[in-house]
């Protein structure tokens, strides 16, 4: 499933980095912390790999 916003893609990248042990998981906050706890490495890779060119900065409510 591709990311729906740049913010979601960034959060997935941070969570993926922590899942792989490249950064400290204790430093994660908000969405990236929740993603780290609830998603697999494969799911995070899919979100983080989304191209950011045409994504909105944040997902619109609706």
Q: Which residues contact 16 (CB under 8 A, 6 or more apart)?
A: 41, 44, 45, 48
Distance CA 43, CA 39 (A): 6
Q: What is the pLDDT of residue 62?
A: 55
Give me the residues of the chain with pLDDT under 70, please: 61-62
Q: Distance of alpha carbon 51 from its chain centroid, rounded?
A: 13
Distance CA 23, CA 10 (A): 14
SS3 7: helix
Q: In whole angstroms, how large is the CA radius of gyration of the chain? A: 11
- Using a cut of 0.75, tell me whether the model's pTM lies above it: yes
Q: What is the pLDDT of residue 1?
A: 84
């Amino acid at each position: 499933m591709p990311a729906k916003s740049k913010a979601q893609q960034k959060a997935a990248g941070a969570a993926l980095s922590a899942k792989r042990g490249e950064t400290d998981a204790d430093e994660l906050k908000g969405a990236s912390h929740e993603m780290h706890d609830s998603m697999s490495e494969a799911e995070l890779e899919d979100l983080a790999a989304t191209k950011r060119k045409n994504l909105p900065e944040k997902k619109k409510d609706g």
